Amino acid sequence: MKPISRRQFVRKGRDALIVGFSLHSGISPAIAWSQTAAPPIPSAKPVIPEELDSWLSIGRDGKVTVYTGRIDMGTGIETAFGQLIADELDVPFESVKLVMGDTELTPDQGKSTASSNVSLGAQPLRVAAAEARRTLLKMAADRFRVSADELDVVDGIVRVRKVPSKRISYAELIGGRRFSTKLDQGTVGDLSQTLTAGLTTQPVRSGGLHLKGPGELRLVGKSIPRVDVPAKVTGSFRYVHNVRVPMMLHGRVIRPPKIGSTLVSIDESSVSGVAGLVKIVREGNFLGVVAEREEQAIEAARLLKVEWTGGRTLPDYNDLHLSVRGSKPVKTDVVLNSGNVDSALAGAAKVLEATYTYPVQLHAMLGPSCAVADVRDGRATIWSGSQWIQGDRRNLARMLGIPLESVRFIWAEASGSYGRLGCDDAAADAALLSQSVGRPVRVQWMRHDEHGWEPMSPAMTMDVRAGLDRQGHITAFDFQQWSQSHSRGESGNSLAWRLAGGNPDWERLSGGPYPPSYEFPNTRMLGHFVEELFRSIYLRAPGRIQGNFAIESFVDEVAADQQVDPVEFRRRYLKDAMALQVLEAAVQKSGWQTRPSPRPNAGQPVVSGRGISFGEHGPEKRATVVAEVEVDRSSGRVRISRIVIAVACGRIINPQGLRHQVQGAVLQGISRTLFEAVKFDRSHVTSLDWRSYPVLTFPDVPEIETALVDQRDVEPSGAGELATVPVAAAVCNAIFDATGVRLRQIPFTSERVKSALG
């Protein structure tokens, strides 16, 4: 029998019955983890950012424990951090353990968002590791009565270089004891600013410490397997959904029929026969039930008779983008206004223009949001998959009316992330219910809760115009965007707090347009923020993925109008050396053939094409995607057969980990491009399950080839959001190359493509 690959097995598996079962005999207790086991809660310790002990400790066995406020959401950050720390300390990778995201154990390092874990989150850890190494070398030098310059360290063993028999381990020097060392004064100022600001755009400087350069690193640059994968494969990994604590109850929240509805009355007699019901909890328009068992809470939530009134009427789904454009802006941002765009357009030999639209989309976490809260006796402990535990801690302290120092947030990994999603909401739900009953409460959303009420990525409408001279060169570029903010600030933005009477603020509006990567003589970028349609929050590459879709598609339109190869046209306006390097890497790896689009495909039932798109995500991060597609003219089905992506995001810490991140981001980009859009009627969201909100499945996964551009002299950064950015436009341009028909509205469903083809 010929062996089959994992990919073939998964694809064929949809046509087969796959039976799974467990063998209890001989299974490790760690694998057969008890759903009723209470997770151990480590004792709190002082967290003072200026002190080394807040960041790092070494046990009697030589194991290194590092405390970080950043979290690993399945991105491999725990492994990458371990590599960086092991290199700075000169210890084996296996000896490093990370404690992540516990407000009573780890320093405040801000949000784990914007692909910033490596670029911003790693630097304080490197500083702490370097300070620990310097302190340990001084201790060893005093012990051996030599200077620190005469010492070497290998795998946590310090030895005198000229007398190798003189050696001592880190464990012998400090094991089980505190360092009682302040971080280097030249570092403290920058470090403190980073921590108090939460999220800064600049990495922490190392002060007088020596942080190792590329030539001194042993582990950075190697493909070390991820430390979290074995437990996830065997089923022993503990997600937030697995958290159980003593005396725990279960809660469910009853949502209003419309956004903005007011709770009028509750018929408590309608659930009088539900066994195990502990309490019906009402706080303003927030309504929940608490029961001894989860199925009892579900039944009570289903049976409880509630009267609501009022609520917002949503626009017609088919007129969504007209509604967005027609809404009165609450603010307009002038992101860029160079030269004189109006004059250049008026004097242009030719003006091209187009409108692009992007739908409301979900984070679509495969496991619904979940949290456990224990609020009693004036204190609160919350287990959550939040990406910003310190921010949620502050918000829930305000919501619950208890002091900040009495709230502890413990991070436990959720089943996805991709932005700040329903994890924060589930934590607020559980906290309100727990405070009301005085016992721990677990809340796990149902699928219809997740799809119907999670904070969403807003719809966006984008107008693009370009003026061309007689030689076909762009002389003016005008971009305007209409969208609600991708985040309405943090204060009061949780669903529970809103229903209970909290008010979000408009202080921080995000997701405005980003300047194009190209240098045009006259450029204007305007972002119009409109009133809220749905509660919104960041979804991977907020604003960038939408804007890139419009800009990169339009650049291709101009190139096609001028009958110029899309790559050659981009080369005219890309002036950044890194951008050109990444563009060329994708062109070479894909085997790009120089010619204008579209490809001659007349008369063929299934046509093929290729498309290219360039994208950025902040400083020092560039990506190019080449997509190859097949389009069935009769059905409108688009099949992506191959993706080639080149990325540059600084020095590569773990090549295989980076490759996996890039591939995962590409898959999500494909899903958002071909399938995903939130549908609604005049009252509420109707995309409440996977049939009405489809996502990418295994049969639609293309071959993905990656070209990793390692920039050894550039500090490392993240690629998860970066790799998502160029996907939509590359696919759009490939469809045009195949069919000669330009699509400007995402997603490119079979129905939409078939209609466009006529």
SS3 state at 609? strand
Share of the chain above pLDDT 90, in %: 74
Residue 689 in tokens: 């399950």
User: Which pLDDT band holds residue 45 (cuts at 50, 70, 90)?
Assistant: confident
Residue in 79, 76, 177, 181 with CA at minimum distance from that of residue 131: 181
pLDDT digits over 284-340, tens only?
999 999 999 999 999 999 999 999 999 999 999 999 999 999 888 989 999 999 999
User: Which pLDDT band holds residue 579 (cuts at 50, 70, 90)?
Assistant: very high
pLDDT digits over 660-718, tens only?
999 999 999 999 999 999 999 999 999 999 999 999 999 999 999 999 999 988 888 88
185 against 306, higher pLDDT: 306
On the 0-12 / 13-18 / 19+ scale of CB atoms within 10 A, 208 is exposed
Span of 7-21, 318-332, 556-570 with lowest mean pLDDT = 7-21
* Model pLDDT, residue 3: 58
What are the sequence ranges of the domains in the chain? 52-233, 241-311+363-453, 541-757
Residues 6 or more apart whose Cβ sits within 8 Å of residue 694: 675, 676
Residue 444 in tokens: 């796990």
Q: Are 628 and 639 in contact (CB under 8 A)?
A: no
d(CA 545, CA 539): 10
**Residue 279 DSSP label:** E
Residue in 467, 728, 757, 733 with CA at minimum distance from that of residue 596: 733
Give ∠ CA 368-97-722 in degrees, rounded to 5: 55
Maximal CA-CA distance, the chain = 86
SS percent in the chain: helix, strand, coil, step 5: 35, 25, 45
Share of the chain above pLDDT 70, in %: 90
* Model pLDDT, residue 92: 98
- Give me the CATH topology for the region 541-757: Aldehyde Oxidoreductase; domain 4 (3.30.365)
Give ∠ CA 361-365-369 in degrees, rounded to 5: 115
* Model pLDDT, residue 619: 80
**Does residue 7 register a pLDDT over 80?**
no
Q: Are 71 and 387 in contact (CB under 8 A)?
A: yes
d(CA 51, CA 181): 6
d(CA 457, CA 545): 11
Which H or E element spans position 133?
helix 122-144
Residue 567 in tokens: 């790559």
Residue in 639, 624, 650, 642 with CA at minimum distance from that of residue 713: 650
Q: Are 626 and 587 in contact (CB under 8 A)?
A: yes
d(CA 234, CA 241): 16
The backbone torsions φ and ψ at residue 104, rounded to the nearest 5 degrees and listed phi first, read -105, 5
* Model pLDDT, residue 262: 96
Average pLDDT estimate for 149-177:
96
Query: What's the order of all strands across the beta sheet hosting 64-68?
Result: 56-58, 64-68, 96-100
Average pLDDT estimate for 551-555:
98
Average pLDDT estimate for 155-164:
96
Q: State in words which class domain 241-311+363-453 has.
A: alpha beta
Average pLDDT estimate for 260-286:
97
Question: How many residues are given for the chain?
Answer: 758
SS3 state at 692? coil
**Does residue 16 register a pLDDT over 50?**
no
Q: Are 95 and 175 in contact (CB under 8 A)?
A: no
* Model pLDDT, residue 630: 98
**Which of 202-211, 318-327, 634-643, 708-717 is most confident?**
634-643
**Does residue 115 register a pLDDT over 90?**
no
d(CA 623, CA 92): 33
* Model pLDDT, residue 37: 55
- Mean pLDDT of the residues in the chain: 90
Residue 252 in tokens: 């469910």
User: Which pLDDT band holds residue 4 (cuts at 50, 70, 90)?
Assistant: low
User: Which pLDDT band holds residue 615 (cuts at 50, 70, 90)?
Assistant: very high
* Model pLDDT, residue 129: 96
Q: Are 427 and 399 in contact (CB under 8 A)?
A: no
Determine whether domain 52-233 maps to CATH 3.30.365.10.
yes
- What's the one-letter identity of residue 724? T
52-233 and 541-757: identical CATH topology: yes
